[in-house]
Amino acid sequence: MCCWKPCAPAEILADGKFGRLVPPGDEAGFAEALKDMIEGRGPNPSAQEIHAQLRLFDPETIRSHYIAFVEHCLSHPVAA
């Protein structure tokens, strides 16, 4: 549960696949989403799906993506 795009929670929760997204400041919506989660309603991804999603945000995965991005930028300079 958290906010709408473009903030990170939407990416982490895969646009709601792993938890309900609630607009910032919507206390009633957040309370309802929390109640639904406690009562077992809402998204119900498998342990395998959760593990795969969490791997996307593993520090080693992020580090390797960042290094690849920097290497790409350095090897493809922008013309002035």
Q: Mind listing the pLDDT tens digit for each residue in 61-70?
A: 999 999 999 9
Indicate whether 34 and 3 sit together in one domain: yes
Q: What tokens appear for 37 in the block?
A: 């989660």
Res 60 pLDDT > 60 = yes
Indicate whether 54 and 40 sit together in one domain: no
User: What's the rounded Cα separation, in Å, for the pair 49 and 4?
Assistant: 21
pLDDT digits (tens, 9 = 90+) for 6-22: 568 888 899 999 999 99
Indicate whether 28 and 52 sit together in one domain: no
Residue partners of 1: CB distance under 8 A and separation at least 6? 13, 19, 20, 21, 22, 30, 33, 34, 37
**Domain with 32 in it:** 1-45
Whether the CB-CB separation of 22 and 1 falls below 8 Å is answered with: yes
Among candidates 6, 79, 8, 12, which has minimal Cα distance to 43? 12
Number of residues written out for the chain: 80
